[in-house]
Amino acid sequence: MSLTKPSPALATAVRTPDISTPSPATLPNQNNGNGAEHASTDRLPLFQKVRDYQSAAQVRAMGLYPYFRMISSAQDTEVVMNGQNVLMLGSNSYLGLTNDDRIKEAVEAAVRKYGSGCAGSRFLNGTLDLHIQLEQELARWINKEAVLLYSTGFQVNLGVASTMIGKDEYILADKANHASLVEGCRLSLGKTLRFGHNDMEALARRLEQLPTDAGKMIIVDGVFSMEGDIIKLPELVRLAKQHNAAVMVDDAHGIGVLGKQGAGTASHFGLEEDVHLIMGTFSKSLASLGGFIAGDAATIDYLKHNSRTLVFSASMSPANVAAVLAALRIMISEPERMAQLWKNTGRMKQGLISLGFHLGDSETPILPVYVHDMLKTFQFCKRLEQEGVFVNPVVSPGVPIGQELLRVSLMATHTFEQIDHGLEKFAKVGKELGII
């Protein structure tokens, strides 16, 4: 949703709510109970952008606000919202492991042994034997020399891109890359050149514009988080070799979904040796929180000592690390989970298409149901929730204006009965809103 101005469609559809209470910006200074007054922002120029921002308030006034919805249960195929069971079709828990008893037991054991946190960064006092164990197991699994853990996936992309690309060097980035990659590229000292989404001809033209001997890295998502398609990695790798460029793949949505033992996009294409850096997160298939970068030992050692988002951030908590270790071992030992995920994806995808919905070029358990209108997207989301189905609305800046969609994502633990129930609700609401 736009953080500056509402779209024309939304602006014309919203009526100004009848508000009898003055907004916080117009209230007089409030006493906080101990004799001090709250600092007022109503006349400070810096906060003008805050006072001008009305988009969220307008959507709330319509009763369609779809963000920060409160869930009061575990992230599973069904969740509890407002005391009611709701079918979850909007989670990134692709393997359905977030509520697995084995993982919860591993978390409990880690907290008992190590406590609740590390009280420092990996660089100083925050490296546990548990961190080293996870890095070693991840490296063997993803077929790289070394792995480095970060506290979040966002920090990985922010820290790696900004550290690896120096002055007079270049980043070539897909226009549909995740926001964390966008911000990492912005922080680098080099120049970022964007190319059309998954357009290898456009990438080739960009590469041809650059000096042959310049440092350059192609940075892309493996699986694109909104569109659900897969990067054309074989052609990208061919171009990288031709132009002496490094390759980094953000595989946040590829891990647990593609490749041998769920090892991701490079594994899916058999190109692990041709992708120099592989990034992954733990908040999706691996049922925890955090992220990692995998590569050759020398590069990982360089990042250990130069990546600010690692050096100056507290390390992953013992509970998070233990959860990843348990989830990784389950994923490797239970390949039937990934197989079931793809069966579920096929059933939902064919069902949506047969109903008349447009899913674009999705090739994965991420199924974008295109609505092409912001207000209708919010209405669709709200009506599905009223019918007991949770999905995620995606509007600008998550996707370009005119490409608004509902993001459906499947879990290995969904049953066919749940999927068919979801399809029934999509059919009902889609017809009601004139989308199909």
Query: How far is residue 382's CA from residue 388's CA, in Å, rounded to a whole number?
Result: 10
Catalytic residue among 253, 276, 414, 425: 253
Same domain? For 82 and 107 the reply is no
* Two structure tokens written together for 200: 């290898």
Give the model confidence (pLDDT) of 129-177 as tens digits.
999 999 999 999 999 999 999 999 999 999 999 999 999 999 999 999 9
Residue 37 has a pLDDT of 66
Query: How far is residue 102's CA from residue 175's CA, in Å, rounded to a whole number?
Result: 39
Query: Considering its fold, how many domains does the chain have in total?
Result: 2
CATH of the domain at 203: 3.40.640.10
Does residue 36 lie in a domain region? no
**Residue 33 clears pLDDT 70, i.e. is over it:** no
Does residue 202 lie in a domain region? yes
Q: Mean of the pLDDT values across residues 354-376?
A: 97
Residue 31 has a pLDDT of 53
Q: Which of 333, 351, 374 is the last residue of a domain?
A: 333
Average pLDDT, the chain: 93
Same domain? For 341 and 328 the reply is no
Cis peptide bond N-terminal to 397, omega within 30: yes
The b/e string for 289-324 (b: 16+ C-beta within 10 A; e otherwise) is: bbbbbbbeeebbeebeeebebbbebebbbbbbbbbb
Mutual angle of helices 153-164 and 179-187, in 10-degree steps? 30
Q: Is 284 a residue of the active site?
A: yes
User: Where does the pLDDT of residue 39 fall: very low under 50, low under 70, confident under 90, or very high at 90 and above?
Assistant: confident
Does residue 55 lie in a domain region? no
Q: pTM here?
A: 0.90
Residue with tokens 């000096």: 211
Does residue 22 lie in a domain region? no
Give the model confidence (pLDDT) of 379-394 as tens digits.
999 999 999 999 999 9
Question: What value, to the nearest 5°, has the Cα angle with vertex 48 and ends 15 and 397?
Answer: 65
Same domain? For 243 and 378 the reply is no
Same domain? For 353 and 291 the reply is no
Going 98 to 248 to 370 to 356, the CA torsion angle's sign is: negative
Phi, psi of 211 (to 5 degrees): -60, 140
Q: Is 253 a residue of the active site?
A: yes
Same domain? For 82 and 110 the reply is no
Mutual angle of helices 101-114 and 318-333, in 10-degree steps? 150
Does residue 3 lie in a domain region? no
**Residue 213 clears pLDDT 70, i.e. is over it:** yes
Same domain? For 151 and 274 the reply is yes
Same domain? For 319 and 179 the reply is yes
Same domain? For 262 and 397 the reply is no
Residue 20 has a pLDDT of 36
Residue 27 neighbours by CB under 8 Å, 6+ apart: none
SS3 category, 101: helix
Catalytic residue among 93, 180, 225, 288: 225
CA count, 13 A, side-chain hemisphere, 82:
6
Same domain? For 328 and 246 the reply is yes
The β-bridge relationship of strands 291-295 and 146-150 is antiparallel
Does residue 56 lie in a domain region? no
Same domain? For 83 and 158 the reply is no
Catalytic residue among 197, 243, 268, 284: 284
Q: For residue 271, give its domain range.
A: 101-333
DSSP 272: G
CATH of the domain at 368: 3.90.1150.10
Q: Which of 268, 303, 333 is the last residue of a domain?
A: 333
Question: What value, to the nearest 5°, has the Cα angle with vertex 337 and ends 288 and 266?
Answer: 75
Give the model confidence (pLDDT) of 309-357 as tens digits.
999 999 999 999 999 999 999 999 999 999 999 999 999 999 999 999 9
Q: Is 317 a residue of the active site?
A: no
Same domain? For 350 and 226 the reply is no
Q: Which of 273, 308, 333 is the last residue of a domain?
A: 333
Same domain? For 113 and 215 the reply is yes
Does residue 363 lie in a domain region? yes
Does residue 19 lie in a domain region? no
